Amino acid sequence: MWANYDLHLLDHQLMTTTYKDSGVDLELYEQSMKRLPKLMHRTFSPRVVKNDGGFAGLYALDFANSLFSRNYKEPILVSGTDGVGTKLKVALKANRHDTVGIDLVAMCVNDCLCTGAEPLFFLDYVAMSRDNPPLLETIVKGVSDGCVDADCSLLGGETAIMPDLYQGDDYDLAGFCVGVVEKKHLVTGKAIQPGDVLIGIGSSGFHSNGYSLVRKVVFEKAGLDIESHVAELGTTVGDALLTPTFIYTRVVRRIMGHYRVKNVLHGIAHITGGGLLENTQRILPENVDLVFERGTWEVPAVFPWLAKLGNIPQPEMDNVFNMGLGMVLIVSGYYSESIQKMIRDEGYRCWVVGEAASGTGHSRWK
């Protein structure tokens, strides 16, 4: 009896346990990593100091070349981090993962742009339940596409395989952007004054906010499927919900580059969760209000469609979604027309949606 027990215990002790047994396959992980450098390199500018295989990404703040030299006097580094939220659940439902990386870049870069900064580089973090080289490549291809659009370099990132925290095909994304702005050109909102004009720049739709509400209404309450065709939108549910977030780098860079002496751009707000009023109010001086006027811009069809589908009241829609304005610029009234032309020249729709007035530091409806 005891002899048999001892033999069984000895056999058990001699059995080997590997990392792969716990759900992490290092060989498969290496295959995943080999797919990523090409997606990074396509985003590189001459300011990137190549360090393939190193432990950190390297980036030259200035560069001795007439095209890239900035000759900073008082450079201020700007940083922003964000994720994609439960829009990832829609990507999983649709088995479409090529656009959420664009959303990730947009959510971080657009925040940095609100200071007038030039985006420099981006890092991503992908957490998965298991190694899946094709899926990872598709996700990072979206990040790479976003970085190309944002004109910033994808320097690197982290892929974490955590089978005990994530199950099945679930994954999560986070991103981090670093930019730079000359101190004298820093946009903080402190320069906003009565008489300034509010220019709203069109969004692509929901962007990456409010998807817990969107999914509850569309999939639970209305019972629609990812492939359901929506007549009002002329597309499927999946296509409507996975439209990537607009990235506004070209617009801000065009305006900042044109007005190098005069600071005509007094405030910039990225319209995300909290809606138009909350996101513009956060940059206001205490003695100025922003007064918005309904009906001055075109609201994309996805918003009234969702509101009707879920019987969502207007105040709730206003508080959760961007309602068609992805970014708001507060500008000197004298330069409003020329700035609108620059925005449209870059391929974005824009409208005068209100004005700044004397007040108590609040954004409100007219």
The confidence band for 2, taking pLDDT boundaries of 50, 70 and 90, is: very low
Average pLDDT of 152-179?
93
Say what the pLDDT of residue 18 is.
65
Does 19 have pLDDT greater than 80? no
CB 300 within 8 A of CB 203: yes
pLDDT tens digits for 322-346? 999 999 999 999 999 999 999 999 9
Average pLDDT of 192-213?
97
Average pLDDT, the chain: 91
Does 365 have pLDDT greater than 60? yes
Does 127 have pLDDT greater than 70? yes
Say what the pLDDT of residue 22 is.
63
CA 76-80-81 angle, 5° bins: 155
Average pLDDT of 15-19?
67
Q: SS3 helix, strand, coil % of the chain, rounded to 5?
A: 35, 25, 40
CB 13 within 8 A of CB 20: no
Pick from 50-54, 272-276, 334-338: least confident: 50-54
Say what the pLDDT of residue 198 is.
98
Which helix (H) or strand (E) is 350 found in, with range? Answer: strand 350-358
Say what the pLDDT of residue 10 is.
52
More confident residue, 101 or 32: 101
The total number of residues shown for the chain amounts to 366
Say what the pLDDT of residue 1 is.
43
Tokens of 190: 């402190």
CA-based nearest residue to 362, from 291, 305, 308: 291
Query: What's the CA gap between 281 and 285, in Å, rounded?
Result: 9
Q: What percent of the chain has pLDDT over 70?
A: 92
Say what the pLDDT of residue 13 is.
59
More confident residue, 251 or 11: 251
- Select the highest-mean-pLDDT range: 12-16, 94-98, 257-261: 94-98
Structural domains of the chain, with CATH: 22-55+68-185 (3.30.1330.10), 197-365 (3.90.650.10)
- Select the highest-mean-pLDDT range: 39-43, 162-166, 188-192: 188-192
More confident residue, 289 or 130: 289
Can you spell out the DSSP letters for 100-150?
A: HHHHHHHHHHHHHHTTTPEEEEEEEEEEESS--HHHHHHHHHHHHHHHHHH
CA-based nearest residue to 201, from 144, 286, 268, 254: 268
Average pLDDT of 192-219?
97
Query: What's the CA gap between 290 and 266, in Å, rounded?
Result: 13
Q: Is the pTM of this model over 0.85?
A: yes
More confident residue, 12 or 206: 206
